[in-house]
Amino acid sequence: MANPYRKSTRLPEGSTRRFPIVPRMIATSFGAGFLPVCPGTWGSLAAIVLWLPLYVWASPAVTLWVTAAAVLVFTFAGTWASDVAERYWGKDPVVACVDETVGQWITLLPVLPYCPWWEIALALGLFRFFDIFKPLGIRRTERLPGGMGMMADDILAGIYGAAIIYVINLIWYYVG
């Protein structure tokens, strides 16, 4: 029996060639969605790779504001690009992973440069947990139409992950 949660990675024949480059690059997180096996995880890892220079070289305020700005910009751009992706690739195509990139950035918001490095790995694990299992009402957000539904579940998963990281940071700061 086929796994009902496993989405096909096969795209309609020739659809990628017809898909305009700008929304295709946004929807696939600059091509990360085309990597083999687990495109959502690749989208999350792309978010971390793009975010790491901020963590290493920027101040906490710059890291927070640039990450928040990226979340805002890519939420709108990703919703648009995901709508376009559905026209070419069908409903919620697995290669469209900008939603995972945005959700991962949300989970990284409370991970500031003074935080221990392991929080980055924890942020990845928490976000992927909430994204894959979709507890606490996350699954219901997928019912929203088009790109909004594609983005909303990952945004909520990112918020849940960020809340846990924030609580850990409070405990670390006040107890440790």
Residue 112 — very low, low, confident or very high, per pLDDT cuts 50/70/90? confident
Q: Per-domain residue ranges for the chain? A: 19-175
What is the DSSP secondary-structure string of the chain?
---TTPPP----TTHHHHS-HHHHHHHTTTTGGGSSS-HHHHHHHHHHHHHHHHHHHS-HHHHHHHHHHHHHHHHHHHHHHHHHHHHHH-SS-TT--HHHHHHHHHHHTT--TTS-THHHHHHHHHHHHHHHH-TTTHHHHTTSSHHHHHHHHHHHHHHHHHHHHHHHHHHHHHH-
pTM: 0.90
Tens digit of pLDDT for each residue in 22-71? 999 999 999 999 998 899 999 999 999 999 999 999 999 999 999 999 99
- Per-residue pLDDT averaged across 65-93, rounded? 96
